[in-house]
Every structure is written in structure tokens, then in C-alpha cells.
A and B are shown apart, each in its own frame.
Chain A
Amino acid sequence: MRYLLRRLGFYAIALWGAVTLNFLLPRLAPGSPIDGLMARLPPSQLAANPHMVENLRAYLDVQQQPLPQAYLGYLKQLATGDFGVSTSNFPAPVSDVIGRVLPYSIFLVGTAFLLSFLLGTTIGMIAAWRRGGIVDNLLTPTFMSLGAFPAFFSSLLAVYFLGLKLGWFPIQHAYDLGLSPGFDWAFLSSAFRHAQLPILIIVLVYAGGWLLGMRNVMINTVEEDYVGLAHAKGLRDWRVMTHYAGRNAVLAPLTGFAAQFGSAVGGLIFIEYVFSYPGAGLTLQQAALGSDYPLAQTLLLFFAVCVLVANLVMDLLYVVLDPRVRTG
């Protein structure tokens, strides 16, 4: 319990830090963002969104107040869930836009991340157990090189070869054109089909990290005395591997969960961009390119909160997996 409280305290401070950084970003940037925006915006976009500039000015003017005052105002806004109005989706509030795109990303990254963790740690465990065996010699280098490929290049390759040339997967958007999102069979099956290739890419790209982390720790674990003892007791090989060596080895890679998750969020942006998949990552890219500051900043904050929550979940899981933490 003490352990969890301490972690919670840390997360609260980290959250406060992220919020503060988010607040400071527009002020740290050289020059006024609105001037840069005016210089960059094509006239057609201005004509199409007459309210955009006033709206942005209002959003940024709030930030021209004296620092402490503006900071308090910002915190108050966040506390009441008021994230401002998205200028590129005027007049939709930011929270509506995020609510619309979020389910896609959660589905995509949640499924893919879980699968890559399971796949990576399992292969890593076997690779370390049978060091120099077929799995180790074949799958370890394969996944390592897949993981070394930048996510955007893997997605482009997959779109071209698996989607365009072989035609195995749909290559654009989250569902077939003409369908509208809802809980009916036509939409869900279409959405599922469209998610297959992106999920496959995330799994292949991120399994390598888990594999290597697991393998490197497991190599040390298999030499521990208790593993030798388990063998001596006459336990079956796979049981020693999973329950004795594996269970202890998996703790270390799990601590890298947050970092992995953070980088998966980055990978998500590339993959959604390549597939024109309407999730939070693509929305962030579009918002930042279109100078929709309220939306972009809120999404950044949101991603940070996701990583924090992932950390918290991992801490809870850690308590379940490692009895030593409970007493310590």
C-alpha cells in the first residue's frame, strides 16, 4: 500500500509537470505563434474559416496575461474539462473532436500492443531458454531487424506489398466508404478488416523490443540456482521455463512498459498517417500542421496522461506478479 501511494504521488507530480510544460510551450517558442500562423496560412483556408483567427487570438490572448494569472486560468479550464474550441473543426469543442477519434486509436493500439507484448515475451523466453536454437537463431534476428526499421517505412512497405500488390488488406481509412460508424455488423466487420494491417505492423515493429528485453534478462535468469533446483526436482522443462525462469524474467521488461508505450504512441501517428486512419495520431498531425493549437495541445496532454495511466496499471500488475513489492 505504501508503495502504491508513493507511486500515485509521483504520477500526480509528473502530471502536474506535463500540464505545466504544456502551458509553457507557447511561451517558450520564439515569436508569437499567431504571427507564424498568419504567415503560413493559405488565404483559401482563412476565407473558409472566417472565425478561425479571432478564435485562435482569443485562445492565445488568454495566454498573454501575466504568467501566474494565466497559469491559474489554464489550470481552472483543465479542471472543468474546458479544452477550448478546435479551430480546424470550428465550432466543435476539442473534447468532442477527441471523443470522436479516440475509439479508433484505443482499439488499434490496445489490441496491437497487447499482442506484441505477448508475442515478443514468449519468443524472447523461448529464445533465451533454447539459446542458439532454431527460435533464437531465426526469430531473434528477424524481429530485431523488423524492430530497427522505422515504423513509417514498415507501414509504407506493408501498404505497397501486402495491400496494393497482393491485395490482402484494405489500405486506406478505418472502414469502407459509405458506411457510417455504429454498432452494426456491416460497420464493425469493415472496421475490423481495415484494422488488420495496421495492427500487424505495430505488432511486428514492437515485438522486437519486448523480445530483446525478455531474452537479455532471461539469459541471466536461466542460470539462477532456483532454476537448476527446479530441474533437479524433475519438473517438466516447459514448466520450469514459464513458472520459474519466465515469471521472474518478465518483471524487468515490464518496467520498460511506459517507454515502449510512449514510442508506440509515436508509431501510431505514423501508421495512422500512412493509412489515413482517423485516430488520435492522425488528428494530432493534422491539428499541428493546421495550427489548431487547442486541439494539438490537448492531444499532447492526453497522450501524456495515457502513458501515466499505463504506468499506473503496470505498477498494479507488478504488485500482482512480484510478491516482494507487496511487503516492501
Chain B
Amino acid sequence: MSNIAPLEPVGPSLSDEPVGPLALPSSRRRRGFGLPVWARLLLGNRKSCAGIIVFAGIVGAAVAAPWLAQNSPTDLVGLPGQPPNRDFWFGTTDQGYDVFSQVVWGARTSLTVAACAAIASTVIATTLGLLAAYSGGWIDDVINLITNVFLVIPTLPLLIVISAFVPTRGPLIMVLILGFTTWAIEARILRSQALSIVKRDFVQAAKVAGEGTWGIIWREIMPNMVSRIAAGFVFVFYGSIIFAAGLEFLGFGDVNGTSWGVILYWAQNNSTVLQGAWWHFVFPGLAIALTVAALVFINYGVDELSNPRLRGPRRKRRALLGLVSGRPAVRAEEAR
């Protein structure tokens, strides 16, 4: 085992830039009002704060489903084909199911599947990306090849064909398939980020101290990339929501279950759209759109935090002004 104490993660910095000398004493870590630094930064950014609030509301609705939606989503509770009214806020389907119940209960399945798939995908991406960056040589080549193949094959057709071969349908299978197919982009990004870390002294020190490959990857390199991995997780989560709902919409989910994509599947399959029953597809669709929009906003905030140039008003004028008045344009950069 290593006799060098594991370094304190510098993770909370959301910057994508190299995180400076890593041998800082751990007391240098800033502490806020009990919230980690990244959380305060994200809540301080207007866009990501809005995204977090909306997303928290959706999760809250999913958790509170038994109280919010009294009708069972799988019982025929009303006359078929009712538009939204006082009893059925989102109307009823062409069969007589309560669309509101379906959307609220469906949130549970959709969010859980997407979260689990994103976790699986992130674990694969982190493992492969860091292993490739740290090992180099033929391991790097092989992982690179596999990553490139997965990047070249369009994800949705691949998902569809795998679904065709899998003997059963359901949430667990969906999680596995999504995790298996969506990791490539993140693995590529994490590998390139990790390349700058593996050359650092502390990694070499751990190596000399005799720590094994996995120990170095998980205890030395990974803690320094937490912010980047978290940003990637949000991205994959966003993709998983869309891919899961899309697959279900196309009929590759458990069509007897309750989730946003399955509601849309029945709306399309029973042609209720063409019969003018807009409530059957608008509400589940809006739920999906709202969720992914919230995630996009969260990611937008993360992007702005890591790339200050995306923030604030245009500085071209200021830069030019600096040029004219004889001050170096760099000033504008510093003045931020």
C-alpha cells in the first residue's frame, strides 16, 4: 500500500483548467455554509439555479406520486377520450386511463431508469477513460479503438438493434442497454482530461510507492476529476432521459409499464394524435421536455462556470478600447 497520504481532492473547483499544484495542504479547501463549493457556485448561477429548482420540482412530484395522483395509472378510471377537466387535469386516454396519474407515476420509472443508466454509463466511461490515460501503450490503443467504434455507430439505431436481440423488455434491461451504448463520448473526454493529470508528480510518486493501477486510478486520479465527471453525468442523464423515452416511444420498452415514453407509445400507436386528442401526448411530452430543459440549464451553468468567456456582456469593445488607449487587451481579461 501507499505510504503517501492520499491527496485531498481539489475537485470542488469546477474549472476545466489544470487545477494548479496539487500538494496544497487540505486546510486550503474553502468551506461554505455547509454546502460544498460547487453547489454554492451552481446555485449562484442564474441559469443552473433555475434548472435545479425545476428539476427538484419534478423529482418531488415523482416522490409524492401516491399523494399527488390518487387514481392508479393502470386502472380504467373514467370515460375514454376526455379532454382536461376538473376531475382529470390532463384528460383521459382513449382507453380511459388518467393521463395525470400516468405522467406523475411515469416520472418515477423514467427518472429512475435514466439515473441508473447514467450511473452505469459514467462508471464505464470513467473506468475506461482513466485506464486508457494512465496505462498508455496497447491498452490505450485498444480502448481508443473500442471508443471510436462506439462513437461511429449511431446510438439510437444501435439501441434499437440491441433491444431486438434482448429476449425480455423492462426497466433493468433498458438501464443495461443504455449504459452499454452511451459511455463513449464521456470516455473520450475524460481520457483527454486525465492525460494532463497522469504526468503530475503525485501520480508518479504513488506509482513509485508501489500502488497498483486501480489504486492510482481510483484514489489518485479520479478524485481530481470529480467536477468533470459530475458534469459528464448530467450530460449522460440528459441523454438517457431522451433515449429511454425515445426507445419506449418506438415500442422497445415494457409497453405495459408506466413511463413517459410508454404513454407516448400508446398515443402514437392508437393514433390519438390524429384524432385530435392533444392531451394524450402533450403532457408526457412536456414532462420530458421540461426535465431535459432543466438538465440543459444545469449544464449551461456548469459550462459558464468552467469557461468564463461565455459569461457576461460582450467584451470585444472593451478589448478594442484597451488596444486604442494603449493598454494591453489582456487588461480586459483581468478586469473580469
Contacts and interface: CB of A to CB of B under 8 A. Distances in A.
Interface string A264-307: 01100110011000000000110111010100110110011001
A157 B155 contact: no
Interface stretch (B36-44, B87-95, B158-166, B220-228): B158-166
Interface residues of B, number: 56
Interface centre among A231, A288, A293 (most CB of B within 10 A): A288
Contact of A262 (B155, B245, B286): B155
B278 A265 contact: no
Given A148-B293, A304-B153, A285 B282 contact: no
A247 B154 CA distance: 29
B156 A266 contact: yes
Interface string A111-148: 00000000000000000000110000000000011001
A220 B316 CA distance: 10
Contact of B157 (A39, A164, A299): A299
B119 interface: no
B310 interface: yes
Contacts of A172: 274
A231 B252 CA distance: 56
B273 A160 contact: yes
B252 A289 contact: yes
Contacts of A270: 246, 249-250
A266 B157 contact: yes
A46 interface: no
B315 interface: yes
Nearest to A304: B153
A285 B160 contact: yes
A70 B152 CA distance: 24
Given A156-B268, A285-B251, A288-B164, A18 B281 contact: no
A31 B160 contact: no
| Nearest 3 pairs of A and B residues by beta carbon | A36-B167, A266-B156, A17-B149
Interface of B: 145-146, 148-149, 151-158, 160-168, 185, 242, 245-246, 249-252, 264, 267-268, 273-274, 276, 278, 281-282, 285-286, 288-289, 292-293, 296, 307, 309-310, 313-316, 319-320, 323, 329
